[in-house]
Structure 1
Amino acid sequence: MPNLPVSLPEWLTLLETRHSKEIDMGLERVASVKDRLRLQFHCPVIMVAGTNGKGSTCAMLESILMQAGYRVGLYSKPHFLDFNERARINGENVSDAALIKAFTAVEQARETTSLTYFEFTTLAICQLLSEAPLDVVILEVGLGGRLDAVNVIDADVSVVTSIDIDHTDYLGDTREKIGFEKAGIFRPGRAAICGDPLPPQSLIDHANTIGADLWLFGRDFNYSGDKQQWNYGGRSQRRNSLGYPSLRGANQLLNAAAVLAALEVLRIELPVGAQEVRTGLAMIDLPGRFQVMPGRPSVVLDVAHNPHAAATLSQNLDNMGFHAYTYAVFGSMLDKDIDGVISHLKGKIDHWYVTGLPLPRAATALQLQQKLLDAGVLADPEKTIQTFDSPEQAYAQAMNQAGENDRIVVFGSFLTVAGVMRARRSALH
């Protein structure tokens, strides 16, 4: 095909500018290109959706299955620094060359069908993984479930982690509406695992209507434990004396229990031993989820961008021990419940460094400042708010101001955390 890009950055630039909408809900266009690609998997597929906890759940599955000696493919998103982070084989990011080959295949199969950036790249990464010699594939859903491009694939096991209010423009403004969208990844006759302890009735009803094999937390699987270890109990499998996941945070046992339920479903095709579970949980590496960086002042990176995640971040900050002052580098998309995020964290932060982000739908620093003022942050004379054009500038100022016994919490949009990761990476080189 003439005039196709030759490098990965050129491909990504083309895809970013080609389709008129960033998000264009519906599966017909994606399904038609998938059929022309003859895209299918020849190994078990695990699909993971949810408001929060998707990335952690995928990382746990990947780590445990790799410890058990399986060849594992993973599609996750968004990325922080390099697009290649979205596609991993056996824990390694795929190469530019592999991605370019897959992009070219999708471009040829696309013919005249218009695809968004997300739809095109999802098809390309699924195509790449389908052609690799793998024992299992893990696919992370982007937005919602029912109409997400990933959902053109039929999963053997579907996992919904948590359900909370987010992306209301696309998914609805209640947990019931959002629960129905998440349940769209369930399939008749196949395992449908829900790790949310209070699942919306809409999710349960949809699973029952289509005849999915619904696994509910507290009914079909659960966990128990003390400060040293925890135990998993499923329908026919128990796992005792497990170590806690290396990922910090209050919700990680809910995610880990859903992971072990998925592995229980697949125990014939993909048997996994107790020691492999223990080692896998101990060795997870997931950037930007309550990630505490080495050195002083303490720096915490967390992609908490909705109230549910902010509540978890607040709890995790409480568990860190004493810090004299806490600085926040905070940037957010405008369509998020920014007030809800602030309400969970305003009592934990002394100095707010709010920042704009390089996307049209991001909140400006001045808009974030106004939200903080409306929330009464400056009613405390010890607290301050400063505005910045970029996360890098905000972080540099926070590092300049913070003492070695202070901490800096970088949170909000992925772009906020990615900006600071970039700044830290360039400081090392």
Structure 2
Amino acid sequence: MPPLPTTLPDWLALLESRHAETHIDMGLDRVRAVKERLQLAFDCPVIMVAGTNGKGSTCAMLETVLLQSGYRVGLYIKPHFLDFNERARINGEMASDAALVQAFEAVERVRGEVPLTYFEFTTLAIMHLIAHAGVDVAILEVGLGGRLDAVNVIDADVAIVTSVDIDHTAYLGDTREQIGFEKAGIFRPGKAAICSDPVPPATLIKHAEDIGADLWLLGRDFNYQGDQQQWSYGGRTQRRNALAYPALRGANQLLNASAALAALEVLRLQLPCGAQEVRAGLAMVELPGRFQVLPGRPTQVLDVAHNPHAAAALAHNLGNMGFHRYTYAVFGIMEDKDIDAVIAPLKGIVDHWCVCGLPSARASDPQQLAHRLAALAPAGAKEGEFSVTAFATPAEAYANAVSRAGENDRIVVFGSFYTVAGVMAARKSSLH
């Protein structure tokens, strides 16, 4: 057997090369077999979060409130932007290379002949790392769907589904009812199952009832209301009043915050959180790439919106930002997305499109994308009022937008994690 890698980059390169050869069989039997050999188990409450949009925000709010309350928190969140280590957080800090290498070695030692995809292997390793980090609570973000996601080999004490919308149709189905059933797969008999989607699919409700989960629905078991200054949460047994709006910007953040507070209400005996800690946590929460407005002029917004539901939310949030002379979009997207439905809400908002290729075989071709966007030109637009330009990379598209935008303009980067990550990397290298 060849010697195992000793550095994190070498491990990730090995897993990527293996992934290309591993047939993705959608069942969890292989992951479960390795989990049992690892003796992977958590001796603390586990909160699992699934959903089409809003997963990362909900995880980030839970993490910050629990950290403010003095608990030691383990968080598995994905994907990463610049460093793989972003996926594993212990007590608010990214896991070290050394800790990740040790976790990869632990999985490799027991894996034997069982083939694992890159995602399955790294998920098991990070869950192993968190389980051995002496945390008071573990927060696990589901990657895709729920029922067949590698995270789902763990039984959560509280499972949250944030929103159900159309995405990843090749794996999850092409209706909200099919996708709702997949996401409800993280629910467990007798355990809290929270759904913050205002219109939950009937399949999700039926599955929760069929297995005897304790279903919490927005509007029935928990709710929120707010005015310009503050908002309040009401659950089954707990009210929280005079809350600050979450530091994460955007229209859907109160839905995500309510789901987080419902989870904390369920766990109030094991993990009590005071009013002051909840307020502070919500006021301090940070999450890159989710309607992230960068300081300075021109205004710059980074948002990983890559499906119709998220694009509609992005358009709504941009509409609430006040006047900007021109809006430039740095836009790259995967070919398997509903591209027309992602673009549609931004018609009339974006004046200049800087479209880009992405470092993935699934990426949409920038020339074809440009052709599609050219049809959005408003009737009677004068020269300089609308344009579409194609670039090979997010960095080149972003550099072009920066060179053209005036200080009263706005640049919006969206369409894929790869688009936002490419711009983040370009910004980082320009600062050094």
TM-score (norm 2): 0.98
Alignment of 1:7-156 (within 5 A): 7-19=7-19, 20=21, 24-156=25-157
Contact 1:60 1:280 in 2 (8 A): yes
Where does residue 423 of structure 2 map in the other structure? 420
User: Alignment partner of 2:189: what SS?
Assistant: coil
Q: How many angstroms apart in 2 are the aligned matches of 1:368 and 1:145?
A: 31
Aligned length: 428
CA distance, structure 1, for counterparts of residue 238 and residue 84 of structure 2: 38
Match of 1:248, SS? coil
Cα displacement string for residues 168-191 of structure 1 (whole angstroms, at most 9, x for unaligned residues): 000000000000000000000000
- Distance in 1 separating the partners of 2:18 and 2:338: 30
Take 1:416 and 1:305, find their aligned partners in 2: how far apart are those partners? Answer: 10
* Matching residue of 2:410: 407
Alignment match, 1:299: 300
Q: Structure 1 residue 368: deviation in Å?
A: 1.3
CA distance in structure 2 between the partners assigned to 1:222 and 1:147 by the alignment: 30
SS at match of 1:268: coil
Partner of 1:212: 213
How far has the Cα of 1:371 moved from its partner? 2.5
Shift, 1:379, TM fit: 4.4
- The Cα of 1:366 is off from its aligned counterpart by 1.4
What is the rounded CA distance, in whole Å, between the counterparts of 2:18 and 2:165 in structure 1? 32
Deviation at 1:359, TM superposition (A): 0.4
Contact 2:22-2:116 within 8 A present in 1 as well:
no
Contact 1:378–1:384 (CA under 8 A) maintained in structure 2: no
Measure, in 2, the Cα distance between the counterparts of 1:320 and 1:303: 18
C-alpha deviation, 1:364, in angstroms: 1.2
Q: Contact (CA 8 Å) 1:338, 1:371: kept in 2 or not?
A: no
In structure 1, list runs of 5 or more residues that go unmatched: none
The CA distance in 2 between the partners of 1:104 and 1:270, in whole Å, is: 32
Are residues 1:231 and 2:232 paired? yes
Report the residue type matching 1:3 in the other structure.
Answer: P
Query: Percent same amino acid among aligned pairs?
Result: 72
Assess if the C-alpha contact under 8 Å between 1:328 and 1:409 holds in 2. Answer: yes
TM-score by length of 1: 0.98
**Distance change (3 Å), C-alpha of 1:21 and 1:335:** farther
Distance 2:403 2:150 in 1: 43
* SS across alignment from 1:377: coil
Partner residue, 2:396 = 393
- The 3 A distance-change label for structure 1 pair 380 and 185 is farther
- What is the rounded CA distance, in whole Å, between the counterparts of 1:21 and 1:304 in structure 2? 29
**Distance in 2 (alpha carbons) for counterparts of 1:232 and 1:139:** 23
CA contact (8 A) 2:22 2:115 kept: no
Could you say which residue in structure 2 is the equivalent of 1:174? 175
Superposition deviation, residue 373 in structure 1: 3.3
Please tell me whether residue 268 in structure 1 is matched to residue 292 in structure 2: no
CA deviation vs aligned residue, 1:351-373 (integer Å, no higher than 9, x gap): 00000000001111012113213
SS in 2 for 1:410: strand
Residue identity opposite 1:267 in structure 2 = R
Q: RMSD over aligned Cα, in angstroms?
A: 1.1
CA offsets, 1:43-70, max 9 Å, x none?
Answer: 0000000000000000000000000000
Gaps of 5+ in 2: none
Residue 319 of structure 1: how far off its partner (Å)? 1.1
Partner of residue 6, structure 2? 6
Deviations 1:274-319 (A, max 9, x none): 1110000000010000101111111100000001101111011111
- Map 1:354-365 to 2 at 5 A: 354-365=355-366
CA offsets, 1:150-177, max 9 Å, x none?
0001100000000000000000000000
Match of 1:384 among 376, 383, 387: 387
Deviates more, 1:17-26 or 1:32-41: 17-26
